[in-house]
Chain A
C-alpha cells in the first residue's frame, strides 16, 4: 500500500535553472496539494489540483511557478529561473475525495538553489 511518493528527494539547482518536482498520490486519491515549507516555518499552501484541473492556485507565486496534474502520470510542480529564495522543502499531499478529507503527505523534495 504505497503512500504518496515524491521525487527527487533532494534537488540542487543553480540560479536561473529550472526545477521540476514530481508527486504521485496514494492509490485511489484524485486530489493533490502542494505546500512549501521554509526552514523553521509552517507549511504554506500553494496549489490544489484534480486530474487535469487546477482547482485553487491562490497560494502560488504569480511568476515562475506552475503546476499540473495530467490524466496520466504524476503531478508536476515546475519552478522556472530559480532564485535563492526558492530554497525550501516542497511537500505534496493527496486526499481521496474532497479537500476536507484527511491529507496524506509525501516525504518532500528539498530544493537547494546555489
Chain B
C-alpha cells in the first residue's frame, strides 16, 4: 500500500524560530493533505495540495508539493506557542480507501 515517510519525528525550537517538516513517498502522489493535531485533540485539516510544484500559504504556514509529486513540506515562520502540536501529512489512494498518514512531526516550542 501507499507509504509516506515523515521527518523529523520531533522538533524542538525556541519561540520565534522557524520550523519545517518533510513528507516523502517512493511513488508519485495524486495529492497530499496536511493536518494538525494539538495534544489531546483530534486531527484538523489544514490544506490539500494537488498540482506539481504547488505552493500555498496560510499566514505563517507555507506548504509545498514537489515537482515530481513525491514529496511535500510544511514550513512555519516565526513559531508561536499556539503552533505546538503534531503535524501529519496524509495521502489517499494506494489501495485502501482511507487516508494513509505519516507518523507525524511533534513540534515542541521552548519559550
A65 at the interface (CB under 8 A from B): no
Instruction: Check B103–A99 contact: CB distance below 8 A.
Output: no
Starting from the known contacts A33-B98, A105-B45, 7 additional A-B residue pairs (CB-CB under 8 Å) come to A41-B104, A42-B103, A42-B104, A43-B101, A55-B97, A99-B98, A107-B41
Interface of chain B, main secondary structure = loop
Give the A-B contact count at a CB cut-off of 8 A.
64
Instruction: Check A91–B42 contact: CB distance below 8 A.
Output: yes
B residues whose Cβ falls under 8 Å from a Cβ of A? 6, 30-31, 33, 35, 41-45, 48, 88, 90, 92-93, 95-104
A47 to B43, CA, bound (A): 17
Interface of chain A, main secondary structure = strand
Q: Return B2 CB to nearest CB of chain A, in Å.
A: 10
Instruction: Check A99–B92 contact: CB distance below 8 A.
Output: yes
> What are 15 A-B pairs with beta-carbon distances under 8 A?
A33-B98, A35-B101, A41-B104, A42-B104, A43-B88, A43-B90, A43-B99, A45-B97, A45-B98, A100-B31, A100-B93, A103-B45, A104-B45, A105-B43, A107-B41
A102 at the interface (CB under 8 A from B): yes
Interface size on A (CB < 8 Å)? 25
A residues whose Cβ falls under 8 Å from a Cβ of B? 33, 35, 41-48, 55-56, 58-59, 91, 93, 99-100, 102-108
Instruction: Check A48–B48 contact: CB distance below 8 A.
Output: no
Contact (A48, B98) CB under 8 Å given A43-B88, A99-B92, A100-B92: yes
